[in-house]
Chains A and B, each alone.
Chain A
């Protein structure tokens, strides 16, 4: 069976949103834009969410990274548009963790 490579995305959100709402919004937007079959094959998953800093980490199959990016572009929760930006993409968690530590340090430095 073919093993697809994973891609990790750090997503910065510019609106306050809860973890449940974020998962729901990304799933709904993805399904509306690309369909349920693409969604199931993408294996999209939220693996980290920092509600304080509005930063999330998603993982999906590399083949569907453009689908995920488009979902982030059109992200909305009950017709309210959510502004978000992909800060970093990586094939490994190591880089992602390093970037998250940097974000944490910058935030704690500002406070």
Chain B
């Protein structure tokens, strides 16, 4: 059975974190990811109580691989991203829907060489109206297909601020299939996450 991952939930407080994690489990996710903050130990306890695995997202970049820590960077512009990925080991570059138009082949090629993945948030797509979707979807498809061609399986996370933002992984996969994206086997699964930890171990 596939283990589905949602490596970015973004709750505003601890109570909401509990709601989101419980909902994510109900929707079939096995691994949850969240940003390192002051409530980290309590959130880890919630995951452990619900028998969920977890990963912690950090910006304290380190050359050393630490178990369950992934290093991420929030995309702002192409130049800054390239500079940062050159200087530090970054596992994931998170891209907001408004910034997707700044992603080009050159950047994807560069990230593929560094084994840095792109990450997109499906909750942002759900909030778009249909005319905004018409503009965003072709670019989204183009970026995902280019990433997959370069052997760089991107991450699709919820970016959920509340439990209402969570959706089932099978529905997300169907959405990607409707965009004619192939090779979706790894895209939402633990296998994709594990590959981050595979190429470099402590």
Contacts and interface: CB of A to CB of B under 8 A. Distances in A.
On whether the two chains bind one another, the answer is yes
Contacts of A73: 126, 167, 171-172, 174-175
Interface in A67-101: 67, 69-70, 72-74, 79, 81, 83, 85-86
A49 B164 CA distance: 22
A70 B174 contact: yes
B170 A34 contact: no
Contacts of B129: 79
A73 B178 CA distance: 12
A21 to B, nearest CB: 18
Nearest to B177: A66
Interface of A: 14, 32-34, 65-67, 69-70, 72-74, 79, 81, 83, 85-86
Contacts of B199: none
A85 B174 CA distance: 13
Contacts of A67: 174, 178
Contact of A34 (B26, B27, B171, B178): B178
Contacts of B178: 33-34, 66-67, 70
B164 A83 contact: yes
B27 A85 contact: yes
A33 B134 CA distance: 9
Interface in B139-184: 164, 166-168, 170-172, 174-175, 177-178
Most buried by A among B27, B164, B171, B175: B171
A110 to B, nearest CB: 16
Nearest to A87: B168
Contacts of B168: 85-86
A79 B131 CA distance: 12
B126 A74 contact: yes
27 contacts: A32-B130, A33-B130, A34-B178, A65-B174, A66-B174, A66-B177, A67-B178, A69-B170, A69-B171, A69-B174, A70-B171, A70-B175, A70-B178, A72-B171, A73-B126, A73-B167, A73-B171, A73-B172, A73-B174, A74-B126, A79-B129, A83-B164, A85-B26, A85-B168, A85-B171, A86-B170, A86-B171
B173 to A, nearest CB: 8
A74 B136 CA distance: 15
The 10 tightest CB contacts between A and B, nearest first, are A69-B174, A66-B174, A73-B171, A70-B175, A66-B177, A69-B171, A32-B130, A70-B178, A85-B168, A83-B164
Contacts of A34: 178
Nearest to B130: A32
A12 B164 CA distance: 13
A85 B166 CA distance: 10
B126 A81 contact: yes
Contacts of A81: 126-127, 164
